[in-house]
Homo-oligomer: A and B are copies of this chain.
């Protein structure tokens, strides 16, 4: 047994949708047989990305849809003045790139937060096949709409006037999503820096750092660098929902 050198798992690289553990979260859900084969042929397995690698950039023509198989990414837009706004973090089983179907290319940039592997489906062939496979079209609408629902959470969180609520909402959401892919919902390993998290939450890095410290001293979390253990989920929920004064 040598060192833990990360090796590309070749079996994983050439695997069909039918065998994929993420099957139910992904496009192929609820289609099968010949249709699944047809979809399978569109899906390209990509070599893993490393932290900082760009999956696609704002404005890219030839847009594609991606499914995260392992690892995680962030999506963000760059503002005219040069600063960025992070729109979301994407973990295994989640889709990235749905903003690209408009015909004007992708509207945001996607970048890996750690070593990540993905499946890729080019849009033109996807919509082409979707036109022939009603089940796929339906599923495509479903996942787009599901993603819509997820996007809604961001403004809801940003609308909170207390920084503590924002962070608590984020942690709960992440916990829930991890649970959905079979991880321990109380043991989070953050793949983003404090800076990236702060940007996403609409705060500055110092505030995020202080919030983690405060939650730890209150016995809600145990924090060690990027790993966060949720010690008191009830207290965390209370922080997330703590009133916000106005209500109209």
Contacts and interface: CB of A to CB of B under 8 A. Distances in A.
A142 B79 contact: no
A144 B144 contact: yes
A174 B127 CA distance: 32
B101 A247 contact: no
A16 B85 CA distance: 42
A149 interface: yes
Counting every copy of the chain, the complex holds 2
B85 A155 contact: yes
A202 B157 CA distance: 10
B77 A152 contact: yes
Given A77-B152, A158-B159, A83 B248 contact: yes
Contact of A142 (B101, B241, B244): B101
Nearest to A201: B159
Contact of A248 (B84, B137, B158, B241): B84
Question: Interface centre among A102, A155, A202, A204, by most B CB within 10 Å?
Answer: A155
A148 B247 contact: no
Contacts of A248: 83-84, 195-196, 199
A4 to B, nearest CB: 30
Nearest to A146: B102
A54 interface: no
B152 A155 contact: no
B244 A83 contact: yes
A77 B156 contact: yes
A244 B127 CA distance: 40
Nearest to A195: B248
A232 interface: no
B161 A100 contact: no
